[in-house]
Chain A
Amino acid sequence: MDALIDQLKGEIIEQLNLEDLKKEDINSDAPLFGEGLGLDSIDALELIVLLEKNHGIKVANPADGKKIFQSVRTMAEYIQANKK
Chain B
Amino acid sequence: METKNYITSYCSIKSGKVNVNGKETYSDINLSSVDFIKSVYKQFQLNYPKFYKMDHLCKLAFVASDLLLKSNPIMQKYAPEDVSVIIANSASSLEIDTEHQNTISDKNNYFPSPAVFVYTLPNILIGEIAIRNCIKGENTFFIFDKFDADFMGSYINSLLNGSKAKCSLTGWVDFYENNYEAFLCTVEKEEGILNIEHNSEQLNKLYNN
Contact = CB atoms under 8 A, between A and B. Distances in A.
Interface in B36-59: 38, 49, 52-53
Interface stretch (A4-12, A24-32, A46-54, A75-83): A46-54
Interface stretch (B72-80, B94-102, B112-120, B166-174): B112-120
Interface in B67-124: 111-115, 118
Contacts of A16: 53, 115
Contacts of B114: 42, 45-46, 49
B171 to A, nearest CB: 26
Chain B's interface size range is: 10 to 19
A38 B53 CA distance: 13
Nearest to B112: A49
A20 B52 contact: yes
B115 A17 contact: yes
A17 B111 contact: no
A67 B205 CA distance: 57
A49 B110 CA distance: 10
Most buried by A among B49, B53, B111: B53
A17 B113 contact: no
Nearest to A43: B115
Nearest to A18: B52
A8 to B, nearest CB: 17
B52 A19 contact: yes
A46 B115 contact: yes
A46 B118 CA distance: 12
Most buried by A among B38, B111, B112, B115: B115
Contacts of B49: 38
Interface of A: 16-20, 38, 42-43, 45-46, 49, 52-53
6 contacts: A17-B53, A17-B115, A42-B114, A49-B114, A52-B111, A53-B111
